[in-house]
Amino acid sequence: MSSPILTSGCTRIRIGGDRPYEAVVGHGLTREAGETGRVLGAEPLRVAVVHSRALLATARRIARELTDEGRIVVSLEVPEGEAAKDMTVVVGLWRALADAGFTRSDAVVAVGGGATTDLAGFAAAGWLRGVRLVLVPTTLLGMVDAAIGGKTAVNLPQGKNLVGAFHPPAGVLCDLDLLDTLPPADYVSGLAEVIKAGFIADPEILRLVEDDPAGAVHTRELVERAIRVKAEVVTEDFREDGRREHLNYGHTLGHAIERVAGYRVRHGEAVAAGMVFAAELARLDGRLSAADTQRHRTLLAAAGLPTTHGGAWAPLRDAMGIDKKTRGNRLRFVVLDAIGRPALFTAPDEDLLRAAYERLAR
């Protein structure tokens, strides 16, 4: 795994590839003068700070820092949550950048959860075919997942993240102090992605969560471990041509649940149910032991995440057919052959899928 570099109380985790960058984890990063500017570099004169209304105070603090450095800062407010990930919002951002005279040497700073960083990243990828991007995730989900790896996307009525681009940021600032004001349900939702990293690659994460299901004692270690899992995978497979698909454990059904619910279900809650489904699917196929399958339910429930999901199977099955991992008409699921041993399961029998869902719906 990528080794952390400790500097001034911060952990700097390198994400490699054609355009390497660092994810910086620590306390007070958005209050430390010059940290955002350091990641941006000297070249950008104009900077768009993209944020939701709830993050206005944090965005203003960053904007003041950048203004004090002599940069021209434009503050762009976007809707909360998944409502932001819409092409009309993207076009609004592009028009704002045009009105402010943004050039290819300018930059975008995204302040918010995964939806905001996905949206702002896509806008930065498309503006003049790509401008510099800095991500300041403010949620646990954003820090350990959405902000790492260079994926950007918006949604369509037909499905989640169907329109997107690969656009690595110049850097990611994970200020752990921002988690102090995160609503408990949103923190728990983020734990789903942390636990996912444990199931696919780092079983020590599972032990830490089992030791403290609320995550309060081990927050920093959990964040750093989950980032290192993703950093190693995306460094090896940036464009999801191979191993990166393993990061989608629980997401095939999870995204379907989100879409069918009109995105009124938190991402982590949907992914938690998706992981239980994937575990049941692997168990029914003879891949995963009953004990490891039960461990999914026990651990996720202890963390406060759902381990069941009701509702009709047919709309969820239809929604999965439009998932990004589908090839032709062949569904592809990430499953486990054992804890820490992910694999792809292509075109499982429909009866097997339905049986796994019946286990989830109990």
| Assigned token pair, 115 | 């939806």
> Domain limits at 172?
4-181
Q: Is the dihedral of CA 341, 330, 297, 147 positive or negative?
A: positive
Banded pLDDT at 3 (limits 50, 70, 90)? very low
Percent of the chain, pLDDT > 90? 86
Q: Which among 147, 326, 164, 314 has a CA at the least distance from the CA of 251? A: 326
Look at residue 235 in the predicted model and tell me its pLDDT: 94
| pLDDT greater than 70 at residue 51 | yes
| pLDDT greater than 60 at residue 153 | yes
Shared domain check, 192 and 159: no
Banded pLDDT at 237 (limits 50, 70, 90)? confident
Contact 347, 331 (CB under 8 A): yes
| CATH number of the domain bearing residue 33 | 3.40.50.1970
Shared domain check, 188 and 173: no
Give Cβ neighbours of residue 73 (< 8 Å, ≥ 6 apart). Answer: 46, 47, 48, 49, 63, 66, 67
Active site residues: 129, 151, 193, 230, 240, 244, 248, 251, 255, 267
Percent of the chain, pLDDT > 70? 96
| pLDDT greater than 90 at residue 1 | no
- How many residues are given for the chain? 362
Shared domain check, 18 and 63: yes
How many domains does the structure of the chain reveal? 2
| Assigned token pair, 129 | 């075919």
Q: Which among 69, 41, 73, 46 has a CA at the least distance from the CA of 60? A: 73
| pLDDT greater than 60 at residue 6 | no
| pLDDT greater than 60 at residue 350 | yes
The CA-CA-CA angle for residues 331, 337, 339, to 5°, reads: 120
Interval 17-25 mean pLDDT? 94
Domain end marker among 159, 181, 203? 181
CA distance 44 to 42: 6
Banded pLDDT at 17 (limits 50, 70, 90)? confident
| CATH number of the domain bearing residue 205 | 1.20.1090.10
Interval 116-134 mean pLDDT? 98
Look at residue 325 in the predicted model and tell me its pLDDT: 59
Look at residue 219 in the predicted model and tell me its pLDDT: 95
